[in-house]
Structure 1
Amino acid sequence: MRIDCHHSEDGTPVLRIAGRLDFSGRDEFAAWIERFLHQVTGREVHVNCSELDYLDSSGLGMLLILRDRALRLGCSVALLNCNATILAVLNTVQFGRLFRVA
C-alpha cells in the first residue's frame, strides 16, 4: 500500500491510496488518517482510489474509521476514481449509503 495526501485545486484535501488496502496496512493507514484529518478545513474530503487494486473487509473497516473521524469534524468522505473491481466491492456492501462513490 502506498498513501499520500495533497490538496486539489479548489483546496479539498485528497488522500490517494495505491495498491492493497488490507489488514497488513492497518497501522500505516491509521497513522495517515490522523495526519490527513489535521489538514481538513472544508466540508468534504476525497479519497482517490484510482490506483487502489484490492480492498478486503479490513480495508472497508479502515474506510469506515476515516468516515467516522471525518464526520466528527463535520466532513463527508467521497471515494473517487474507483475501478470496476473496487466499485463492485463497495456496491456489494452498500457503501454508497455512507460515502459519495464515483
Structure 2
Amino acid sequence: MCYTKSYDLVINGLEVGGGSIRNDKFFLQKKVLLISLNIFELSYNFNFFLNSLKYSAPVHGGVAFGLDRFLIIILGINNFKFISILPKNNSYNCFFSKAPNFIF
C-alpha cells in the first residue's frame, strides 16, 4: 500500500491548482519504475535519479495553477471552451502543434 502527500486548491467547488510531495524513497521509487521498465532500461535511463535518492536527495514538491480556471472564476464563465488558452478541435487535436502526433 502506498500513500501520497498531495493537495488541491479549490475555489467555490472548482479545482484551480494542485500538487504533491514527490516520492523520495529509493526502494519504493525503484519498484514503481520497474512496473513499466525492465532492469536494463531502468539503469540506462534513470540510474542518475535513483543514485540521487540513494544518497539522500532532499524531499521536493511542486504546485501548479490553472490560469484558465482562474479566468473562469474571475469572468464568471461556465464553459472552458470560451477561454481555452490552447484551443483544440472536437477531436482534441491542437491547432498550433498538431498534437497528438507522431514524433519523427
Q: TM-score range by the shorter chain?
A: under 0.3
Higher strand share: 1
TM-score normalised per structure 1: 0.21
TM-score normalised per structure 2: 0.21
Q: Which structure exhibits the higher relative contact order, with contacts defined as CA atoms closer than 8 Å and separated by 6 or more residues?
A: 1
**Max radius of gyration: which structure?**
2
Higher helix share: 1
